[in-house]
Structure 1
């Protein structure tokens, strides 16, 4: 009687993956679902989703401004979509958990998509006179890496590479260069624009786009979002408090706010 051969162990724990997916906050889930939906739509051949929603400088006009928001959700294939989804999920999850679902929606549907897109169009079309299209959630990956780099720079200004001390804020730039060298058909300029906007976010210069907390509380209470929407992150239930501010007590008994976004000031009202 032949004994069945045992299957090799999986390189990951399915239980942990399931637990991680179950714990994803609402907006992060929606982003991943929209990425999946657009990839499925791209499988049909009657209509090109990429051509419709890509950020193409020459195609931007009054009737196609939607491209400033659709391009992060659209990808050129399964591998492209999978890699970007895996990369953006933990970064976006942390952002939403620290900032709240409404703030994440307001920023990523708004300035964190349109500002890097506008900067890219300005350089690509006006300065370089080119018309290279851009798609993919990697724009958000490098933007969030840029913001994280500013945060890390405040506590750890340098990291060692052999005998050299390298500023921590430059780490996304190195990642951008490495990805451009190792991966074909990626936009170095698009990723660079995203990093620059991430730096502005980390330094607090985009705080003018953050909705005031009073308005967020009013919307949440009026619509009862916390009670109606599963996995919703409210203003009062974020991981680290309002915009990641952690109060620490100094010897004089006063409290000093440490901001997630690399500034001693809070965003919003």
Structure 2
């Protein structure tokens, strides 16, 4: 009989210790906010995306709603789904790019949240509250699907050939049917921004690479911040240069509750 793969805690520990900096920060924020809701239950109402409450004074909701979750199960499933996708994104584009896109009033918070709010208020004329990092999960899945599509345009199911880029949309539909209280519109909003990023239509939202390199060198981010990922992967490698010059290797690159939830 074939043996089942065994859980290796050492591999899990090694993977967690190798997570890049921005991924660690965002995951910590998700877990910390969930923990804070235990004594302060009002935080969910404060952070959730409720379309009727979005105005110039509450734009912060577009940034906080992916970090807030309805309960522990909701939070842990989203963390497990988000971690490998976010880690891969940061490893490819660098810590500064990831930080600029996932924090502040930037593309990956403002755009999907804004689209969801617009669809709810203008088209559906509803006020469904959403929260959860699954909007980022589907955003990153859509971006990955575009890359996979360029290398492998189709996959086959029986006699049918299905475009690879549409696999996140299939997953969105399946989850909307199987998992109660999930937001189809929210997940589609996240996937839509992921497609725009994957096809290069919103890459202009990232600061120019020359500016990012200047910031890195001026602040010496590679030397000061552990697990920092350089924007210039080809020159510095995944985590920059080694911090020691011993044996002449110092300059060599290092290898590398109310409301509706958005959840898996």
Partner of 1:262: none
Structure 2: how far apart are the matches of 1:77 and 1:180? 19
Rounded to whole Å, the distance in 1 between the matches of 2:236 and 2:16 is 21
Instruction: Please report how far the alpha carbon of residue 126 of structure 1 lies from its aligned counterpart in structure 2 after TM superposition.
Output: 0.9
Unaligned runs of 5+ in 1: 1-8, 243-269
Q: Give the Cα–Cα distance (whole angstroms) in 1 for the partners of residues 171 and 234 of structure 2.
A: 29
1:123 to 115, 119, 122: 119
Instruction: Write out per-residue CA displacement over residues 6-38 of structure 1, whole angstroms, 9 at most, x where no aligned residue.
Output: xxx995211011000000000000111001100
Residue by residue, what CA displacement relative to the aligned partner does 1:114-139 show, whole Å, maximum 9, x if unpaired?
A: 10011111111111100001111100
Secondary structure, counterpart of 1:72 in structure 2: coil
1:222 to 218, 221, 224: 218
Uncovered stretches (5+) of structure 2, i.e. residues with no partner: 239-264
**Structure 1 residue aligned with 2:38, among 31, 34, 43?**
43
* Alignment partner of 1:22 is 2:17: yes
Match of 1:97 in 2: 91
- Give the aligned partner of residue 247 of structure 2: none
Give me the whole-angstrom Cα distance separating, in 1, the residues matched to 2:168 and 2:236: 24
2:48 aligned to 45, 54, 57, which one?
54
C-alpha contact (below 8 Å) 1:97/1:238 kept by paired residues = no
Indicate how the Cα distance of structure 1 residues 195 and 102 shifts in structure 2: closer, same or farther if over 3 A, else same.
same
Once the two structures are overlaid, the 10-residue window that deviates more, 232-241 or 202-211, is: 232-241
1:106 alignment partner in structure 2: 100
Runs of 4+ in structure 1 off by over 6 angstroms are 238-242
Contact 2:230/2:237 (8 A) holds in 1: no
Name the counterpart of 1:173. Answer: 169
Superposed displacement of residue 144, structure 1: 0.6
Count how many residue pairs are aligned between Structure 1 and Structure 2.
Answer: 233
- Residues 158/193 of structure 1: CA separation in 2 closer, same or farther (3 Å cut): same
SS in 1 for 2:65: helix
Aligned-residue offset at 1:236: 2.5
Aligned residue runs from structure 1 range 128-143, under 5 A? 128-143=124-139
Contact 2:48 2:64 in 1 (8 A): yes
Encode CA deviations 1:94-153: one digit per residue, 9 max, x unaligned: 000000000001111210111001111111111110000111110010001111111111
Normalising to structure 1: TM-score of the pair? 0.83
Give the structure 1 partner of residue 227 of structure 2: 231
Rounded Cα–Cα distance in structure 2 between residues aligned with 1:238 and 1:69: 32
1:22-74, Cα deviation, whole Å (9 max, x unpaired): 00000000111001100101111x44121000111001012111001001110
